[in-house]
Amino acid sequence: MPHARHLLAIEGMHPPQITELLDVAEAYALLNRSGNAPRDLLRGKTLINLFFEDSTRTRTSFELAGKRIGADVINMAVSASSVSKGETLLDTAATLNAMQCDLLVVRHGQSGAPALLAQKVDASVINAGDGTHEHPTQALLDALTIRRRKGRLEGLIVAICGDIAHSRVARSNILLLSTLGARVRLIGPPTLIPAEIEQLGVTVFHSMEQGLPGTDIVMMLRLQRERMVSGLVPSAREFFRRYGLDHARLALAKPDALVMHPGPMNRGVEIDSAVADDPERSLIREQVEMGVAVRMAVLDLLSRGHSRNV
Ligand code: ASP
């Protein structure tokens, strides 16, 4: 990402940019484990977390990432701010500009909101998830987690399973994994797989029994009921019966296949606890750890590429 000003999407990123980011994140992962992160790197820089939608992992890991390398971090609770009094996104942008923030991390329910803000603020904008569009840092942390365990991404077969239609995680992962040479399969009911998605170079399956054989990575997604019109899925129990991942289903994938989930998990709906908590097969904890390293790398690289006009 040399000299990039914002991180808005995986779409449009080239393999060397992604690889550079993963390499820097890998170094941060090691520094974090040894407690040697460069604590003054972002001294004097301000990072604002602006979350219009709920988040646990993403917001806290951006906060931790910023603090670990010395930025001043402010979390704006949107419901407590003037946005709930009717202030528009662009008024909010003007306020943030006046505060001279350097890095703005934005999550919003509308696809494209971070890109709109990026046109209006002086800060570097990082998309922390916009509607059903993209969640670039999630795809980067997933790629780093896979690369560390499997040693590569190229040639791997990755199955992304469940509610693809409402998932920005799926979209960013499809784009990133395909760009770096992995083969992506999508598995889910026809109602939860967008028409035309095959144009992105993926293969679609409507049953786990058909889609899982031969896979190296099985990535599970929750049903995003908050974005669904009603009637797209049967009951939770029926969904688990057809698309849930338990050990018996996992046995259909390669013997060394590993399981991922971006969270939040709905245990017993898309994933069985015995799989989610299996230290031999589940990468879910490591994904969270790599989330901090990836976000440190993103903040570091964006700060290098951008000096604010004062
Ligand atoms: N945490 C992820 C996201 O914000 C996935 C999810 O919500 O299911 O997109």
The CB of 222 under 6 Å from ligand 1? The reply is yes
* Residue 242 CA: distances (Å) to CA of 55, 206, 210, 222, 273: 28, 10, 12, 14, 17
**Nearest of 8, 1, 13 to residue 177 by alpha carbon:** 13
Provide the strand spans (E) within 39-79.
Answer: 46-51, 72-77
- Tell me if the pTM is above 0.85: yes
* 168 close to ligand 1 (CB < 6 Angstrom): yes
Residue 109 CA to ligand 1 center (angstroms) comes to 11
Question: Cβ(129) to ligand 1 under 6 A?
Answer: yes
135 C-beta closer than 6 A to ligand 1: yes
State the SS3 of 292-310.
HHHHHHHHHHHHHHCCCCC
Q: 108: Cβ below 6 Å to ligand 1?
A: no
Nearest C-alpha neighbor of 42 from the set 257, 263, 303: 303
Place of tokens 């803000």: 117
Nearest residue CA, atom 4 of ligand 1? 129
If you compute the radius of gyration of the chain from its CA atoms, what whole number of angstroms results?
A: 19
Q: Which of 294, 234, 306 is nearest to 20 (CA)?
A: 294
Which atom of ligand 1 is closest in space to residue 107's alpha carbon?
4
Query: What token pair was written down for 48?
Result: 């604002």
Q: Is the CB of 136 under 6 A from ligand 1?
A: no
Q: From first to last of its 310 residues, what are the pLDDT tens digits of the chain?
A: 446 899 999 999 999 999 999 999 999 999 999 999 999 999 999 999 999 998 989 999 999 999 999 999 999 877 767 776 777 888 888 888 898 899 999 999 999 999 999 999 999 999 999 999 999 999 999 999 999 999 999 999 999 999 999 999 999 999 999 999 999 999 999 999 999 999 999 999 999 999 999 999 999 999 999 898 877 888 999 999 999 999 999 999 999 999 999 999 999 999 999 999 999 999 999 999 999 999 999 999 999 875 444 3
